[in-house]
Amino acid sequence: MRKLLAIILALELICVWWLLCVLTWHIDAVTYLAAGERLNAGHALYSLMPGDRALAVDSSAVGTPILYPPLIAVLWRPLSALPAMTGLYLWFAAAAVAIFTSIWYVARDLRWSAIAVLLIFSAGIGSQLRAANIEAFIILTALLLWDQSDRRPWVGVIIGVLTAIKVSPGIFIVWLISQRRWGAVRWAAAGLIGGFLVGLIGVGLDAHVQAFDMLRSSKPQNLTITGLTVIPWATWAVDVFGALSILLVTKHPKAAFRLAALTIIFGSPQISLGVAAYALLLVLPMRRGCEARGRRRGDPRGGPAEHRAGAGVLGAARTHGADAEPVQRFLQ
């Protein structure tokens, strides 16, 4: 009962932070909406023209009105065409479902570690809920990769598409490679290539060249590793170090997954309060239920072989009558 009350308290804090954020900060999804509107109007994606939607963020401060590859704007074109900002509300609802599903995924067994993360990082989770950022879907997809990619490799296609939308989720493809989940890696590659082709067809090659130049020359925020150290290549060094570290701990899937989560947090060129929601990814590998389910369903990390071996010895013991009774009692 105490754990359940703690979960309820954490959810209340998240909702309070969400309300405060809605009252004071802009919604990231408006940036996506504006990008889709610019494409629908035939305007440039990475610069503002007269008649374009005004943004709460000063685009001159970051050098561009949107810090994403073109695919996000292409996908938002039909949503932006819906009347009365209906597309924005639909996206906001989907992002909220993704966040609360992630919370359920982590906290459903009522472990204190999950409850602690929800309480400590409630502000970040609430901010992410308010922002309706693409990161809401990245968090949920990463949780699914951990728990499902060995049995349902098609989940990898989602992380591939998300990598085409926002480069940083590619660190979880590195994790899939480190765990030799080749089926999911192939699906991720298909999603990445497919997403790139959709963006290429939607806006052409020039916009992708502009996106590359924009990502290469964008000004990092003060809270990033580059901003704190004043070393231009520090953020990229974190990404490279994180990827290499993941590949070096292939025999420790939990540690590798945590490294991927930490890399996407500290290796981002743009860090906001909502990034704290990635802390949910540090909890799932510690859940006892994941490995237990993996052993029951045939996870290669162990379980079925031991079960079959035990069953074989037990069956043999049962065929030898009373002389095998001590063995039977021990195995049972």
Nearest to 258 by CA among 246, 266, 244, 250: 246
Task: Write out pLDDT tens, residues 162-174.
Answer: 999 999 999 999 9
Extract the tokens encoding 112. 């204190």
Q: Give CA–CA dist 291/299, Å, rounded.
A: 8
Instruction: Give the helix ranges, DSSP H, for 109-204.
Output: 112-120, 122-131, 135-148, 156-165, 170-178, 182-203
DSSP state of 232: T
Q: Give CA–CA dist 61/58, Å, rounded.
A: 6
Does residue 50 sit in helix, strand or coil? coil
Does residue 54 sit in helix, strand or coil? coil
Q: Which residues contact 165 (CB under 8 A, 6 or more apart)?
A: 68, 69, 71, 72, 75, 134, 195
Asked whether the predicted pLDDT for residue 298 surpasses 80, the reply is no
Task: Write out pLDDT tens, residues 127-173.
Answer: 888 888 999 999 999 999 998 888 889 999 999 999 999 999 999 99
Q: Give CA–CA dist 54/180, Å, rounded.
A: 46
Q: At 86, which helix (H) or strand (E)? A: helix 86-107
Domain limits of the chain? 2-285
Mean per-residue pLDDT, 42-65 = 76
The pTM (predicted TM-score) of the whole model is: 0.80
Q: Give CA–CA dist 275/311, Å, rounded.
A: 47
Q: Give CA–CA dist 138/264, Å, rounded.
A: 10
What b-and-e string marks burial along 141-162, b requiring 16 or more CB atoms within 10 Å of the CB? bbbbbbbebbeebebbbbbbbb
- What's the confidence (pLDDT) of residue 117? 80
The more confidently predicted of residues 162 and 230 is 162
Q: Give CA–CA dist 266/241, Å, rounded.
A: 11
